[in-house]
Amino acid sequence: MIEIKEELLESVLEGAIHEIDDNAAKLISITRKIDAIEPLHFFVNAKQLAKDRTFWSSTADQFYIVGIGKAHTIRADSNRFQKTEKLWRNLLDEAIIHNPFQTPGTGMLALGGMSFDPGIRKSSLWEKFDHSLFAIPEYMLTVNESGYFLTVNVQADAETNANKLAGIIRRNEEVLIKPRPVLSAGPSIQWQEEVAPRDWMDTVKDATEAIEQNEADKIVLARELRVKLDSTVDIAAVLNNLIKTQSNSFVFAFEQGGDCFVGATPERLAKIEGTNVLSTCLAGTAPRGKTVSEDKRIGENLLYDEKNRSEHEFVVSMIKQAMDQYCTDIEIPDKPVIYPLKNLQHLYTPVTATLKDGYSIFDIIGELHPTPALGGVPRDESLEFIREHEQLDRGWYGAPIGWLDSNGNGEFAVAIRSGLIQGDEASLFAGCGVVRDSDPLAEYEETAIKFTPMLSVLGG
């Protein structure tokens, strides 16, 4: 139940509408505190409103954002980071925002993401996902350490009737906050097909030859696994399974016109709270062991493996270099530690810093993307090889996804361990870093391991 008198919604709307001094529509954002509600129930209830849904969770922090519908969208194809930030700033300047709480993830908020590379011709697989798309939801649930918050974002002009608008909002909110039964168990896989695996291994060989000829130091190559399921996928069930099985990850779903990009990524790109900046280096991968002793042995081998440490240092160096332009007080530990997940373990190094005046999270993610863990080193040369040789439109795979709020907070992750779900079919994606001594079969096997998190929640 909402902890706020219904008439207060009307009074806030009336006050906001009175602020509109011309007949042009403006975005009004109102945040209220509510009683506890299960985020996935809120997500499921939104099906009755027949609107696209967005889900974001930092499972380690018990932080959730669930967005329903689109009150406003921000799109950009070229100069995406600069244009998106400019449009977001313009929107904040024009919007009327009522948020007495000011905690991260509340107030007016944009959720979305970008494609890995707008320089690649978009395939039909990703036709519903723009190269950069951020949505301000019509209704949004935020769960953080301060409680549960419900935000409504609506377009209104000076002639809008506050009472009628409040009535529509209340009816939709009643649908969204209703308790729901237990979530379904999820789908099961009928068959799966790797897309051109032998061609992919040949491309790995081509990449090692290019590196031998000093055309690059590292090239990251991705591949696709196509999956057929026994029924139309219940996205809520997939999210539920990801939350249960993928701790220390960002669980996400972005619906767009019936398609849904969903996954659980452990890789944070950047987080900003006020002027505090956090980025994380997550490069170097190994499977988990079946016993405690085997798991420890595999982790120790990963810590001292020359190829994986080299891969990790590429990322650490690049993040430090990127942050130098926009931050002060940069702090980086001397060596990585093991970051364990359910199916995999990684080398992990956190980077903290203080944001300089005049810069934003878009400056940082624009400089960081793509990291050496997803593109390669040097960036331009590795991207050129990917464009020319990789037989795949990555779409939003490997790209920045996340959120930013009107309080100046935000968080972006790199969209790995993910798939695009279309009805009863899905395309899953995985990649690996190719260096001078890479073996095509070993790299193929590494990507096979990286498919595991998504395959497992789809019933594989």
Query: With 60 as the cut, is the pLDDT of residue 359 above it?
Result: yes
- To which H or E segment does residue 210 belong? helix 197-212
pLDDT grade, residue 400 (50/70/90)? very high
Lookup: tokens for 261: 């990009």
Query: With 50 as the cut, is the pLDDT of residue 4 above it?
Result: no
Query: With 60 as the cut, is the pLDDT of residue 3 above it?
Result: no
Torsion of CA 456, 458, 459, 460, to 10 degrees: -60
pLDDT grade, residue 215 (50/70/90)? very high
Amino acid at 386: I
Cross-strand pairs, 222: 431
How far apart are alpha carbons 222 and 393 in whole angstroms? 10
The 10s digit of each residue's pLDDT in 54-87 is 999 998 889 999 999 999 999 998 899 999 999 9
Question: What 8-state DSSP symbol labels residue 335?
Answer: S
The 10s digit of each residue's pLDDT in 113-147 is 999 999 888 899 999 999 999 999 999 999 999 99
How far apart are alpha carbons 460 and 52 in whole angstroms? 27
The pLDDT of residue 2 is: 44
How far apart are alpha carbons 381 and 341 in whole angstroms? 32
Question: For the whole model, what pTM was predicted?
Answer: 0.93
The pLDDT of residue 1 is: 39
Domain spans of the chain?
Answer: 6-176, 189-457
The pLDDT of residue 413 is: 97
- Mean of pLDDT values over 370-385: 92
Tokens 């994380």 sit on residue: 280
Task: Tell me which of 70, 128, 218, 271 is the catalytic residue.
Answer: 218
Burial label, 327 (beta-carbon count in 10 A; 0-12, 13-18, 19+): buried
- Rounded to the nearest 5°, which phi and psi values hold at 329? 55, 45
Q: Under a CB-based contact definition with an 8 Å cutoff, are residues 26 and 72 in contact?
A: no
How far apart are alpha carbons 236 and 205 in whole angstroms? 40
The 10s digit of each residue's pLDDT in 151-171 is 999 999 989 999 999 999 999
How far apart are alpha carbons 366 and 285 in whole angstroms? 25
Q: Which fold has domain 189-457?
A: Anthranilate synthase (3.60.120)
The yes-or-no answer on residue 51 being catalytic is: no
- Rounded to the nearest 5°, which phi and psi values hold at 325? -75, -30
DSSP helix, strand, coil percent of the chain (3-state; round to 5): 35, 35, 30
pLDDT grade, residue 6 (50/70/90)? low
Cross-strand pairs, 193: 226
By percentage, how much of the chain surpasses pLDDT 70?
A: 98
The 10s digit of each residue's pLDDT in 305-332 is 888 888 788 788 888 988 999 999 999 9
- Rounded to the nearest 5°, which phi and psi values hold at 328? -120, 175
- Residue 19 known to bind ligand: no
The yes-or-no answer on residue 267 being catalytic is: yes
How far apart are alpha carbons 419 and 261 in whole angstroms? 6
The pLDDT of residue 284 is: 81
Task: Tell me which of 10, 85, 255, 267 is the catalytic residue.
Answer: 267
- Residue 311 known to bind ligand: yes
Query: With 90 as the cut, is the pLDDT of residue 36 above it?
Result: yes
Lookup: tokens for 83: 């244009």
